[in-house]
A and B are shown apart, each in its own frame.
Chain A
Amino acid sequence: DAGVIQSPRHEVTEMGQEVTLRCKPISGHNSLFWYRQTMMRGLELLIYFNNNVPIDDSGMPEDRFSAKMPNASFSTLKIQPSEPRDSAVYFCASTIFQGSQPQHFGDGTRLSIL
């Protein structure tokens, strides 16, 4: 079975540009999480969805960040305008919405803002 698929794997863009990261969760999973990972702060939860509805976006750093989940098989994380401090690896994970279930992560998007 295909795992969580993220695209692009790498993105390099200039400050001020719009960046869109994409995620396809595992079929049948009803919860989706967006994380950001840096050396200094580790893996931080940005937002999570349950049944396509945003449940908790308290980790979204600023209004420049937005996330959508138009259907059960697709989600986007958008940064507009991007800044150098947004450079990080962004991960998407999906799971079945129960506390004991593991999260399945994609291989991330490495984002560099120049």
Chain B
Amino acid sequence: SQKIEQNSEALNIQEGKTATLTCNYTNYSPAYLQWYRQDPGRGPVFLLLIRENEKEKRKERLKVTFDTTLKQSLFHITASQPADSATYLCALGDSGTYKYIFGTGTRLKVLA
């Protein structure tokens, strides 16, 4: 069955450093991959989308890579700030149904 793995352990990093979060998947060939941010008590908020034929996407301090051979996406936040502390979810999308499967998320804490 389709499976998405994100590091379930919280990631603590020092302010100013680059945070790197991983999303691995198996038994799936997604056409799209999205990253969302979720704060406590709130719904997920869309950050970035990358397509299967794209290797890398950037938006301000955010960068996403997508390796369909390794079946992995990396999400980077450069010059991290305490305000970046949140849970980050990856979601894989199917081109036929446009249905997305979400990972369980990785909690990031940026220490001042």
| A residues at B contact (CB < 8 Å) | 4, 31, 35, 41-45, 48, 55-56, 91, 93, 97-100, 102-108
Contact partners of A48 in chain B: CB under 8 A: 99
* Beta-carbon contact of A105 and B41 below 8 Å: no
Contact partners of A105 in chain B: CB under 8 A: 43-45
Contact partners of A31 in chain B: CB under 8 A: 98
- Of chain A, the residue at the smallest CB distance from B101 is A45
Q: Closest approach, in angstroms, between the C-beta of B99 and any C-beta of chain A?
A: 6
- Is B97 close to A, CB under 8 A? yes
0/1 interface trace, chain B 15-26, chain A, CB 8 Å (1 if under): 000000000000
Q: Closest approach, in angstroms, between the C-beta of B30 and any C-beta of chain A?
A: 10
Q: A42 and B103 in contact (CB under 8 A), knowing A99-B31, A100-B51, A107-B42?
A: yes
Q: Closest approach, in angstroms, between the C-beta of B112 and any C-beta of chain A?
A: 27
Q: What's the dominant secondary structure at chain B's contact region?
A: loop
Alpha-carbon distance A75/B97, docked complex (angstroms): 20
Alpha-carbon distance A89/B43, docked complex (angstroms): 10
* Beta-carbon contact of A99 and B105 below 8 Å: no
- Of chain B, the residue at the smallest CB distance from A40 is B104
* Beta-carbon contact of B41 and A107 below 8 Å: yes
Q: Pick from A42, A56, A98, A102: contact of B34, CB below 8 A.
A: A102
* Beta-carbon contact of B31 and A108 below 8 Å: no
* Beta-carbon contact of A98 and B98 below 8 Å: yes
7 contacts between A and B (CB under 8 A): A4-B43, A41-B104, A99-B93, A100-B49, A103-B100, A105-B45, A107-B42
Alpha-carbon distance A31/B97, docked complex (angstroms): 12
Alpha-carbon distance A105/B105, docked complex (angstroms): 16
0/1 interface trace, chain B 82-106, chain A, CB 8 Å (1 if under): 0000000100011101111111110
Contact partners of B103 in chain A: CB under 8 A: 42
